[in-house]
Protein backbone atom coordinates (compact mmCIF):
# COMPACT_ATOMS: atom_id res chain seq x y z
CA UNK A 1 0.00 0.00 0.00
CA UNK A 2 1.56 3.34 -1.04
CA UNK A 3 2.43 5.99 1.55
CA UNK A 4 -0.21 8.31 0.10
CA UNK A 5 -2.89 5.62 0.35
CA UNK A 6 -1.80 4.75 3.89
CA UNK A 7 -2.03 8.41 4.86
CA UNK A 8 -5.52 8.65 3.39
CA UNK A 9 -6.50 5.44 5.20
CA UNK A 10 -5.34 6.75 8.57
CA UNK A 11 -7.14 10.06 8.08
CA UNK A 12 -10.28 8.28 6.89
CA UNK A 13 -10.27 5.96 9.90
CA UNK A 14 -9.85 8.93 12.25
CA UNK A 15 -12.84 10.73 10.81
CA UNK A 16 -14.98 7.60 10.82
CA UNK A 17 -14.17 7.18 14.53
CA UNK A 18 -15.17 10.80 15.06
CA UNK A 19 -18.36 10.08 13.12
CA UNK A 20 -19.16 7.11 15.35
CA UNK A 21 -18.45 9.10 18.50
CA UNK A 22 -20.36 12.10 17.23
CA UNK A 23 -23.08 11.39 14.69
CA UNK A 24 -23.97 7.79 15.49
CA UNK A 25 -23.82 8.32 19.24
CA UNK A 26 -25.95 11.45 18.92
CA UNK A 27 -28.45 9.59 16.76
CA UNK A 28 -28.64 6.78 19.29
CA UNK A 29 -29.16 9.20 22.18
CA UNK A 30 -31.89 10.97 20.22
CA UNK A 31 -33.58 7.61 19.56
CA UNK A 32 -33.43 6.83 23.29
CA UNK A 33 -35.09 10.14 24.16
CA UNK A 34 -37.77 9.57 21.52
CA UNK A 35 -38.35 6.04 22.83
CA UNK A 36 -39.04 7.49 26.27
CA UNK A 37 -41.46 10.07 24.87
CA UNK A 38 -43.26 7.82 22.37
CA UNK A 39 -44.96 4.42 22.57
CA UNK A 40 -43.89 1.08 21.05
CA UNK A 41 -46.95 1.27 18.78
CA UNK A 42 -45.72 4.52 17.22
CA UNK A 43 -42.34 2.98 16.47
CA UNK A 44 -44.18 -0.03 15.07
CA UNK A 45 -46.17 2.13 12.66
CA UNK A 46 -42.99 3.54 11.16
CA UNK A 47 -41.37 0.10 10.94
CA UNK A 48 -44.31 -1.21 8.89
CA UNK A 49 -43.49 0.97 5.90
CA UNK A 50 -39.68 0.98 6.00
CA UNK A 51 -39.42 -1.93 3.56
CA UNK A 52 -40.92 0.20 0.79
CA UNK A 53 -38.43 3.01 1.32
CA UNK A 54 -35.46 0.67 1.65
CA UNK A 55 -36.35 -0.98 -1.67
CA UNK A 56 -37.09 2.32 -3.41
CA UNK A 57 -33.85 3.89 -2.20
CA UNK A 58 -31.87 0.88 -3.41
CA UNK A 59 -33.58 0.99 -6.81
CA UNK A 60 -32.83 4.71 -7.17
CA UNK A 61 -29.12 4.16 -6.51
CA UNK A 62 -29.05 1.11 -8.84
CA UNK A 63 -25.49 0.29 -7.80
CA UNK A 64 -24.18 3.42 -9.54
CA UNK A 65 -22.32 4.68 -6.47
CA UNK A 66 -20.34 1.43 -6.20
CA UNK A 67 -19.64 1.56 -9.93
CA UNK A 68 -18.35 5.13 -9.69
CA UNK A 69 -16.19 4.50 -6.62
CA UNK A 70 -14.40 1.70 -8.48
CA UNK A 71 -13.36 4.13 -11.24
CA UNK A 72 -9.86 5.59 -11.12
CA UNK A 73 -11.32 8.94 -12.15
CA UNK A 74 -14.98 9.98 -12.32
CA UNK A 75 -15.77 12.02 -15.42
CA UNK A 76 -18.14 14.98 -15.37
CA UNK A 77 -20.38 13.12 -17.81
CA UNK A 78 -20.58 10.14 -15.44
CA UNK A 79 -21.51 12.44 -12.55
CA UNK A 80 -24.20 14.25 -14.50
CA UNK A 81 -25.64 11.04 -15.96
CA UNK A 82 -25.86 9.47 -12.50
CA UNK A 83 -27.50 12.57 -11.02
CA UNK A 84 -30.19 12.75 -13.70
CA UNK A 85 -30.89 9.01 -13.53
CA UNK A 86 -31.19 9.05 -9.73
CA UNK A 87 -33.55 12.02 -9.76
CA UNK A 88 -35.84 10.69 -12.51
CA UNK A 89 -36.14 7.29 -10.84
CA UNK A 90 -36.73 8.93 -7.44
CA UNK A 91 -39.64 10.95 -8.80
CA UNK A 92 -41.07 7.81 -10.39
CA UNK A 93 -40.75 5.81 -7.17
CA UNK A 94 -42.42 8.58 -5.20
CA UNK A 95 -45.31 8.62 -7.64
CA UNK A 96 -45.79 4.86 -7.29
CA UNK A 97 -45.67 5.02 -3.48
CA UNK A 98 -48.08 7.96 -3.43
CA UNK A 99 -50.58 5.98 -5.49
CA UNK A 100 -50.04 2.77 -3.50
CA UNK A 101 -50.29 4.41 -0.07
CA UNK A 102 -53.97 3.51 0.56
CA UNK A 103 -53.29 -0.11 -0.44
CA UNK A 104 -50.35 -0.30 1.96
CA UNK A 105 -52.54 1.11 4.74
CA UNK A 106 -55.25 -1.47 4.02
CA UNK A 107 -52.72 -4.32 3.99
CA UNK A 108 -51.65 -3.54 7.55
CA UNK A 109 -55.13 -2.39 8.64
CA UNK A 110 -53.62 0.94 9.72
CA UNK A 111 -55.38 3.87 7.96
CA UNK A 112 -52.79 6.37 9.20
CA UNK A 113 -50.09 4.72 7.10
CA UNK A 114 -51.48 6.27 3.91
CA UNK A 115 -50.51 9.78 5.01
CA UNK A 116 -47.21 8.58 6.49
CA UNK A 117 -46.13 6.94 3.23
CA UNK A 118 -47.01 9.99 1.14
CA UNK A 119 -45.05 12.37 3.37
CA UNK A 120 -42.06 10.08 3.88
CA UNK A 121 -41.83 9.52 0.14
CA UNK A 122 -40.37 12.99 -0.24
CA UNK A 123 -37.19 11.57 1.31
CA UNK A 124 -36.51 9.69 -1.91
CA UNK A 125 -36.39 12.84 -4.02
CA UNK A 126 -34.34 14.76 -1.46
CA UNK A 127 -31.84 11.92 -1.15
CA UNK A 128 -31.47 11.65 -4.93
CA UNK A 129 -30.50 15.32 -5.09
CA UNK A 130 -27.44 14.68 -2.93
CA UNK A 131 -26.44 11.11 -3.77
CA UNK A 132 -23.78 11.96 -6.36
CA UNK A 133 -22.13 14.48 -4.02
CA UNK A 134 -21.74 11.83 -1.36
CA UNK A 135 -20.31 9.39 -3.91
CA UNK A 136 -17.74 11.99 -5.00
CA UNK A 137 -16.64 12.57 -1.40
CA UNK A 138 -16.33 8.81 -0.81
CA UNK A 139 -14.31 8.37 -4.02
CA UNK A 140 -11.92 11.06 -2.79
CA UNK A 141 -11.83 9.28 0.62
CA UNK A 142 -13.03 12.56 2.14
CA UNK A 143 -14.75 11.39 5.31
CA UNK A 144 -14.03 14.61 7.18
CA UNK A 145 -16.68 16.50 5.21
CA UNK A 146 -19.13 13.60 5.41
CA UNK A 147 -18.70 13.41 9.19
CA UNK A 148 -19.50 17.10 9.61
CA UNK A 149 -22.52 16.84 7.33
CA UNK A 150 -23.89 13.78 9.07
CA UNK A 151 -23.42 15.25 12.54
CA UNK A 152 -25.19 18.50 11.72
CA UNK A 153 -28.06 16.67 10.01
CA UNK A 154 -28.53 14.23 12.88
CA UNK A 155 -28.48 16.90 15.60
CA UNK A 156 -30.78 19.38 13.85
CA UNK A 157 -33.36 16.79 12.75
CA UNK A 158 -33.18 15.02 16.12
CA UNK A 159 -33.72 18.21 18.10
CA UNK A 160 -36.80 19.09 16.07
CA UNK A 161 -38.16 15.53 16.41
CA UNK A 162 -37.72 15.60 20.21
CA UNK A 163 -39.64 18.88 20.45
CA UNK A 164 -42.41 17.45 18.27
CA UNK A 165 -42.61 14.27 20.37
CA UNK A 166 -42.75 16.30 23.59
CA UNK A 167 -45.68 18.31 22.28
CA UNK A 168 -47.64 15.21 21.29
CA UNK A 169 -47.00 14.77 17.56
CA UNK A 170 -46.53 11.02 18.04
CA UNK A 171 -45.33 9.05 15.02
CA UNK A 172 -44.98 12.27 13.01
CA UNK A 173 -41.98 13.15 15.17
CA UNK A 174 -40.25 10.03 13.84
CA UNK A 175 -41.26 10.86 10.27
CA UNK A 176 -39.93 14.41 10.67
CA UNK A 177 -36.62 13.10 12.01
CA UNK A 178 -36.03 11.00 8.88
CA UNK A 179 -37.27 13.62 6.43
CA UNK A 180 -35.38 16.55 7.95
CA UNK A 181 -32.17 14.55 8.27
CA UNK A 182 -32.24 13.91 4.52
CA UNK A 183 -33.01 17.58 3.85
CA UNK A 184 -30.22 19.02 6.01
CA UNK A 185 -27.71 16.45 4.76
CA UNK A 186 -28.50 17.12 1.10
CA UNK A 187 -28.22 20.89 1.51
CA UNK A 188 -24.85 20.50 3.25
CA UNK A 189 -23.57 18.06 0.62
CA UNK A 190 -24.09 20.76 -2.00
CA UNK A 191 -22.38 23.31 0.26
CA UNK A 192 -19.33 21.12 0.93
CA UNK A 193 -18.98 19.86 -2.65
CA UNK A 194 -18.17 22.33 -5.40
CA UNK A 195 -19.37 20.08 -8.24
CA UNK A 196 -21.24 22.05 -10.90
CA UNK A 197 -24.27 20.31 -12.38
CA UNK A 198 -24.17 20.22 -16.18
CA UNK A 199 -27.44 18.32 -16.88
CA UNK A 200 -25.79 16.17 -19.53
CA UNK A 201 -27.10 12.64 -19.92
CA UNK A 202 -24.91 10.16 -21.81
CA UNK A 203 -26.25 6.78 -22.87
CA UNK A 204 -22.67 5.55 -23.21
CA UNK A 205 -21.95 6.48 -19.61
CA UNK A 206 -25.28 5.04 -18.49
CA UNK A 207 -24.66 1.67 -20.17
CA UNK A 208 -21.18 1.46 -18.63
CA UNK A 209 -22.37 2.23 -15.09
CA UNK A 210 -25.58 0.25 -15.37
CA UNK A 211 -23.67 -2.74 -16.70
CA UNK A 212 -21.96 -3.01 -13.33
CA UNK A 213 -24.72 -1.51 -11.20
CA UNK A 214 -27.68 -3.49 -12.57
CA UNK A 215 -26.30 -6.81 -11.40
CA UNK A 216 -25.50 -5.28 -8.05
CA UNK A 217 -29.00 -3.78 -7.96
CA UNK A 218 -30.66 -7.19 -8.20
CA UNK A 219 -28.51 -8.51 -5.36
CA UNK A 220 -29.19 -5.44 -3.22
CA UNK A 221 -32.96 -5.55 -3.78
CA UNK A 222 -33.11 -9.20 -2.77
CA UNK A 223 -31.01 -8.51 0.31
CA UNK A 224 -33.06 -5.47 1.39
CA UNK A 225 -36.32 -7.35 0.88
CA UNK A 226 -35.33 -10.24 3.10
CA UNK A 227 -33.81 -7.93 5.71
CA UNK A 228 -37.14 -6.13 6.01
CA UNK A 229 -39.57 -9.00 5.43
CA UNK A 230 -39.50 -10.03 9.09
CA UNK A 231 -40.87 -6.61 10.06
CA UNK A 232 -43.58 -6.89 7.41
CA UNK A 233 -44.63 -10.32 8.70
CA UNK A 234 -44.67 -9.13 12.30
CA UNK A 235 -46.74 -6.10 11.31
CA UNK A 236 -49.19 -8.23 9.32
CA UNK A 237 -49.63 -11.29 11.54
CA UNK A 238 -48.88 -9.94 15.00
CA UNK A 239 -49.49 -6.53 16.59
CA UNK A 240 -48.12 -3.07 15.90
CA UNK A 241 -46.87 -3.00 19.51
CA UNK A 242 -44.94 -6.25 19.01
CA UNK A 243 -43.41 -4.78 15.87
CA UNK A 244 -42.43 -1.72 17.90
CA UNK A 245 -40.55 -3.92 20.38
CA UNK A 246 -38.79 -5.76 17.57
CA UNK A 247 -37.91 -2.53 15.75
CA UNK A 248 -36.39 -1.03 18.90
CA UNK A 249 -34.34 -4.17 19.55
CA UNK A 250 -33.21 -4.14 15.93
CA UNK A 251 -32.21 -0.50 16.31
CA UNK A 252 -29.99 -1.34 19.29
CA UNK A 253 -28.38 -4.29 17.51
CA UNK A 254 -27.77 -2.30 14.33
CA UNK A 255 -26.27 0.57 16.28
CA UNK A 256 -23.63 -1.75 17.68
CA UNK A 257 -22.96 -3.98 14.68
CA UNK A 258 -24.17 -2.58 11.37
CA UNK A 259 -23.22 1.04 12.02
CA UNK A 260 -19.64 0.15 12.84
CA UNK A 261 -19.34 -2.28 9.94
CA UNK A 262 -20.80 0.23 7.51
CA UNK A 263 -18.27 2.77 8.72
CA UNK A 264 -15.43 0.31 8.13
CA UNK A 265 -16.85 -0.54 4.70
CA UNK A 266 -16.97 3.14 3.73
CA UNK A 267 -13.21 3.28 4.24
CA UNK A 268 -12.11 -0.15 3.06
CA UNK A 269 -14.11 -0.42 -0.17
CA UNK A 270 -12.52 2.55 -1.97
CA UNK A 271 -9.09 1.75 -0.51
CA UNK A 272 -9.08 -2.00 -1.22
CA UNK A 273 -10.48 -1.32 -4.69
CA UNK A 274 -7.14 0.28 -5.46
CA UNK A 275 -5.38 -3.01 -4.53
CA UNK A 276 -7.56 -5.31 -6.66
CA UNK A 277 -4.70 -6.12 -9.06
CA UNK A 278 -2.45 -7.42 -6.24
CA UNK A 279 -4.19 -10.40 -4.60
CA UNK A 280 -1.49 -10.93 -1.96
CA UNK A 281 -1.80 -7.37 -0.65
CA UNK A 282 -5.57 -7.56 -1.06
CA UNK A 283 -5.75 -10.66 1.15
CA UNK A 284 -3.61 -9.00 3.81
CA UNK A 285 -5.87 -5.97 3.65
CA UNK A 286 -8.95 -8.12 4.21
CA UNK A 287 -7.31 -9.94 7.11
CA UNK A 288 -6.66 -6.63 8.82
CA UNK A 289 -10.25 -5.50 8.21
CA UNK A 290 -11.64 -8.69 9.77
CA UNK A 291 -9.35 -8.45 12.79
CA UNK A 292 -10.17 -4.80 13.38
CA UNK A 293 -13.92 -5.26 12.90
CA UNK A 294 -14.04 -8.32 15.14
CA UNK A 295 -12.09 -6.63 17.92
CA UNK A 296 -14.84 -4.01 18.26
CA UNK A 297 -18.02 -5.76 17.13
CA UNK A 298 -17.81 -9.20 18.76
CA UNK A 299 -17.28 -8.05 22.38
CA UNK A 300 -19.96 -5.36 22.08
CA UNK A 301 -22.59 -7.73 20.67
CA UNK A 302 -21.98 -10.40 23.31
CA UNK A 303 -22.04 -7.89 26.16
CA UNK A 304 -25.20 -6.30 24.80
CA UNK A 305 -26.87 -9.70 24.59
CA UNK A 306 -25.90 -10.59 28.16
CA UNK A 307 -27.05 -7.22 29.53
CA UNK A 308 -30.07 -6.77 27.23
CA UNK A 309 -32.74 -6.43 29.94
CA UNK A 310 -30.94 -3.95 32.21
CA UNK A 311 -29.72 -2.04 29.15
CA UNK A 312 -33.25 -1.49 27.87
CA UNK A 313 -34.59 -0.46 31.28
CA UNK A 314 -31.79 2.04 31.90
CA UNK A 315 -31.87 3.57 28.42
CA UNK A 316 -35.45 3.55 27.12
CA UNK A 317 -37.42 2.57 30.22
CA UNK A 318 -39.36 -0.38 31.59
CA UNK A 319 -42.09 -0.12 28.95
CA UNK A 320 -39.56 -1.55 26.47
CA UNK A 321 -38.61 -4.57 28.63
CA UNK A 322 -40.62 -6.99 26.41
CA UNK A 323 -38.02 -6.30 23.70
CA UNK A 324 -35.33 -8.11 25.74
CA UNK A 325 -35.51 -11.51 24.06
CA UNK A 326 -35.64 -9.90 20.61
CA UNK A 327 -32.47 -7.96 21.42
CA UNK A 328 -30.66 -11.06 22.70
CA UNK A 329 -31.49 -13.01 19.55
CA UNK A 330 -30.53 -10.13 17.26
CA UNK A 331 -27.23 -9.74 19.11
CA UNK A 332 -26.54 -13.42 18.39
CA UNK A 333 -27.07 -12.62 14.71
CA UNK A 334 -25.10 -9.38 14.96
CA UNK A 335 -21.89 -11.25 15.73
CA UNK A 336 -21.92 -12.40 12.09
CA UNK A 337 -22.75 -9.10 10.35
CA UNK A 338 -19.19 -8.01 9.70
CA UNK A 339 -18.00 -11.39 8.38
CA UNK A 340 -20.90 -11.59 5.96
CA UNK A 341 -20.37 -8.04 4.75
CA UNK A 342 -16.59 -8.30 4.38
CA UNK A 343 -16.77 -11.53 2.37
CA UNK A 344 -19.26 -9.99 -0.06
CA UNK A 345 -17.19 -6.82 -0.38
CA UNK A 346 -14.39 -8.85 -1.96
CA UNK A 347 -16.59 -9.69 -4.95
CA UNK A 348 -17.49 -6.01 -5.37
CA UNK A 349 -13.83 -5.01 -5.27
CA UNK A 350 -13.01 -7.63 -7.91
CA UNK A 351 -15.97 -6.55 -10.02
CA UNK A 352 -17.69 -9.96 -9.79
CA UNK A 353 -21.20 -8.69 -9.08
CA UNK A 354 -22.56 -11.65 -11.07
CA UNK A 355 -21.37 -13.89 -8.25
CA UNK A 356 -22.93 -11.58 -5.65
CA UNK A 357 -26.31 -12.15 -7.28
CA UNK A 358 -25.78 -15.91 -7.45
CA UNK A 359 -24.89 -16.02 -3.76
CA UNK A 360 -27.87 -13.88 -2.76
CA UNK A 361 -30.33 -16.10 -4.62
CA UNK A 362 -29.02 -19.22 -2.86
CA UNK A 363 -29.01 -17.54 0.55
CA UNK A 364 -32.47 -16.07 0.23
CA UNK A 365 -33.99 -19.34 -0.93
CA UNK A 366 -32.66 -20.88 2.27
CA UNK A 367 -33.82 -17.87 4.30
CA UNK A 368 -37.30 -18.11 2.80
CA UNK A 369 -37.59 -21.76 3.79
CA UNK A 370 -36.39 -20.97 7.32
CA UNK A 371 -38.90 -18.12 7.67
CA UNK A 372 -41.80 -20.32 6.53
CA UNK A 373 -40.79 -22.92 9.12
CA UNK A 374 -40.04 -20.38 11.85
CA UNK A 375 -43.31 -18.46 11.68
CA UNK A 376 -45.18 -21.68 12.44
CA UNK A 377 -43.74 -21.38 15.95
CA UNK A 378 -44.82 -17.79 16.50
CA UNK A 379 -42.91 -14.55 16.75
CA UNK A 380 -39.88 -16.07 18.53
CA UNK A 381 -39.64 -18.86 15.96
CA UNK A 382 -39.67 -16.23 13.21
CA UNK A 383 -36.78 -14.29 14.77
CA UNK A 384 -34.78 -17.46 15.48
CA UNK A 385 -35.09 -18.40 11.80
CA UNK A 386 -33.59 -15.01 10.99
CA UNK A 387 -30.63 -15.68 13.30
CA UNK A 388 -29.97 -19.13 11.81
CA UNK A 389 -29.98 -17.66 8.30
CA UNK A 390 -27.09 -15.32 9.17
CA UNK A 391 -24.88 -18.20 10.30
CA UNK A 392 -25.64 -20.21 7.18
CA UNK A 393 -24.84 -17.09 5.14
CA UNK A 394 -21.28 -17.00 6.51
CA UNK A 395 -20.54 -20.41 4.99
CA UNK A 396 -21.98 -19.36 1.64
CA UNK A 397 -20.41 -15.89 1.51
CA UNK A 398 -16.93 -17.19 2.32
CA UNK A 399 -16.87 -19.68 -0.58
CA UNK A 400 -15.50 -17.22 -3.14
CA UNK A 401 -13.16 -15.60 -0.62
CA UNK A 402 -11.46 -18.98 -0.37
CA UNK A 403 -11.46 -19.37 -4.16
CA UNK A 404 -10.04 -15.94 -5.06
CA UNK A 405 -7.88 -15.07 -2.05
CA UNK A 406 -7.19 -18.49 -0.54
CA UNK A 407 -8.76 -17.15 2.66
CA UNK A 408 -11.27 -19.82 3.83
CA UNK A 409 -13.73 -19.44 6.69
CA UNK A 410 -11.51 -21.49 9.01
CA UNK A 411 -8.65 -19.05 8.58
CA UNK A 412 -11.03 -16.13 9.01
CA UNK A 413 -12.33 -17.56 12.28
CA UNK A 414 -8.77 -18.00 13.53
CA UNK A 415 -8.23 -14.30 12.89
CA UNK A 416 -11.36 -13.60 14.94
CA UNK A 417 -10.35 -15.92 17.83
CA UNK A 418 -8.65 -13.29 19.95
CA UNK A 419 -11.76 -11.10 19.81
CA UNK A 420 -14.01 -14.04 20.70
CA UNK A 421 -11.89 -14.97 23.72
CA UNK A 422 -11.89 -11.38 24.93
CA UNK A 423 -15.66 -11.13 24.45
CA UNK A 424 -16.46 -14.38 26.29
CA UNK A 425 -14.30 -13.41 29.25
CA UNK A 426 -15.90 -9.95 29.35
CA UNK A 427 -19.39 -11.43 29.09
CA UNK A 428 -18.84 -13.85 31.98
CA UNK A 429 -17.26 -11.37 34.39
**What would the pLDDT profile of 242-277 be if each residue is shown by its tens digit?**
999 999 999 898 887 776 777 666 666 766 777 777
Assess whether pLDDT exceeds 60 at residue 427: no
Residue 5 three-state SS? helix
Residue 220 is predicted with a pLDDT of 78
Instruction: Report the chain's C-alpha Rg in angstroms.
Output: 21
Q: Of 237, 259, 291, which residue is a domain's last?
A: 237
**What is the pLDDT at residue 356?**
78
* Residues 262, 228 share a domain: no
CA 311 → CA 26, 174, 249, 429, distances in Å? Answer: 17, 22, 11, 16
Does residue 139 sit in the same domain as residue 268?
Answer: no
Give the chain's length: 429
Tell me what pLDDT residue 197 has. 77
Q: Are 161 and 177 in contact (CB under 8 A)?
A: yes
**Lowest mean pLDDT segment, chosen from 53-57, 93-97, 116-120:** 53-57
Instruction: Say yes or no: 151 and 272 in one domain.
Output: no
Residue 295 has pLDDT above 90, yes or no: no
CA dist 221 to 63, 105, 339, 353, 394, Å?
10, 22, 20, 13, 19
Q: Quick one: pLDDT at residue 292?
A: 79
Please name the helix (run of DSSP H) or strand (run of DSSP E) that holds residue 402, with its range, or none: helix 399-405
Task: Determine contact, residues 82/209, Cβ cutoff 8 Å.
Answer: yes
CA nearest 405: which of 212, 276, 288? 276
Q: Which of 9-13, 84-88, 249-253, 317-321 has the lowest mean pLDDT?
A: 9-13
Tell me the C-alpha distance between 110 and 117, whole Å.
12
d(CA 234, CA 20): 30
Tell me: do 322 and 414 sit in the same domain. Answer: yes
Tell me: do 230 and 286 sit in the same domain: no
Do residues 275 and 172 both lie within one domain?
no
Q: Which helix (H) or strand (E) covers residue 428, if one does?
A: helix 409-428
Same domain, yes or no: 326 and 367: yes
Contacts of 401 (CB under 8 A, 6+ apart): 286, 343, 346, 407, 408, 409, 412
Same domain? 114 vs 258: no
Same domain, 415 and 328: yes
Domain around 107: 1-237
Determine the Cα–Cα distance for residues 412 and 310; give it in Å rounded to an integer: 33
Residue by residue, DSSP assigns 241-255 as HHHHHHHHHHHHHHH
Check if the beta carbon of residue 16 is closer than 8 Å to that of residue 145: no
Structure confidence by residue, pLDDT tens digits, 135-179: 888 777 777 888 889 899 999 999 999 999 999 999 999 999 999
Specify whether 249 is located in the same domain as 368. Answer: yes
82 and 102 part of one domain: yes
What is the DSSP track for 166-184? HTT-THHHHHHHHHHHHHH
Same domain, 69 and 139: yes
- In the chain, the number of structural domains is 2
Residues ≥6 apart with Cβ < 8 Å to 377: 384
Amino acid sequence: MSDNLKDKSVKAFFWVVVDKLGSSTSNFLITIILARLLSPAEFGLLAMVMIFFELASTFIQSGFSFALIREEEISEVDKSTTFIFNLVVAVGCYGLLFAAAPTIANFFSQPMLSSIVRVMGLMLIINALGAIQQTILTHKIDFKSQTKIRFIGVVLSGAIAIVMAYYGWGVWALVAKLLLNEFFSTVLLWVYNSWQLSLVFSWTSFRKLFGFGSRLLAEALIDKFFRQIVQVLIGKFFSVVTLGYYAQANSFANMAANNFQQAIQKITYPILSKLKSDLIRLKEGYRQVIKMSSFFIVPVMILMGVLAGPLLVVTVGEKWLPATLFLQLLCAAGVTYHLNSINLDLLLVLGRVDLCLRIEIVKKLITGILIVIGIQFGIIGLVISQVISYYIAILINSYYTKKFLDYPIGEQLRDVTSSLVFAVIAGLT
